[in-house]
Amino acid sequence: MPGSNENARLSTLIDEESLQARVRELGAQIREEYGDEPITCIGVLKGSFLFMADLVRAIGGPVRCEFLGGSRNHRGTRSTGILRITHDLKKSIEGQNCLLIEDIVDTGLTMEYLMRMLKVRNPTSIKIASLLDKPSNRKVEVDIDYVGFTIPDEFVVGYGLDLQDFYRNLPYIAVYHP
Ligand code: PRP
């Protein structure tokens, strides 16, 4: 469990002000592109919860909020891309414009799996917004429509991203130095 001296292991990568400014920018861009259309925002738990909370407010207008939970942390699945769905959508997305919201796209396996899973539910459209993009570690190609920041190959925490479930509540993104 991180104690106070653990903070020495953190160095700021994206500060709070830059994060918030970029999220506002993305929100305005998304709303502009969708016009007055309702957008079904689908947050991928747990990492996306802070980004999603800020992004939906920045998007404004008619927005629905749904959540998907997945886990690849159980034995044997981390590298295969098979995701255990721990929380499914509560409502149908048929005929809706959907925006899948992630904190980070790393190997791309999570997004590839979720996109395949959601496309068969017949949404009108489905796009991806990810706060962070770490392309250096990609295993499958993923087309990310809205990217907050492209980051180097570092282990990052904060603003939803965790180390053993801690650090999600940092209001900024930090590199964790083990
Ligand atoms: C993280 C992150 C993405 C996924 C990205 O989730 O939130 O969902 O990994 O990695 P990928 O591109 O290699 O698939 P994690 O499984 O750590 O769960 P969490 O969101 O609950 O922290």
Q: Which residue's CA is minimally distant from atom 10 of ligand 1?
A: 106
Pocket of ligand 1 (CB under 6 A): 44-47, 72-73, 102-110, 162
Which residue has a Cα nearest atom 20 of ligand 1? 47
Q: Does the active-site annotation cover 106?
A: yes
Question: Rounded to whole angstroms, what are the CA distances from 29 to 25, 32, 143, 174?
Answer: 6, 5, 17, 26
Query: pLDDT for 15-65, tens place per residue?
Result: 999 999 999 999 999 999 999 999 999 999 999 999 999 999 999 999 999
So what's the pLDDT on residue 76? 43
For residue 45, report the distance from its CA to the centre of ligand 1, in Å. Answer: 8
Q: Per-residue pLDDT tens for 55-91?
A: 999 999 999 999 999 887 644 445 666 788 999 999 9
Q: Where are the alpha helices (DSSP H) in the chain?
A: 16-34, 49-59, 109-119
CB within 8 A of 171, min separation 6: which ones?
16, 19, 158, 159
Q: Which atom of ligand 1 is nearest to the CA of 71?
A: 16
The residue written with tokens 């909370």 in the block is 53
- Among 106, 143, 145, 153, the active-site one is 106
pLDDT of residue 8: 83
The reported pLDDT for the residue numbered 3 is 64
Annotate 104-124 with b (16+ C-beta within 10 A) or e (fewer): bbbbbbbbbbbbeebeeeebe
CATH topology of domain 2-69+88-177: Rossmann fold (3.40.50)
Residue 4: predicted pLDDT: 58
Ligand 1 atom closest to the Cα of residue 134 is 12
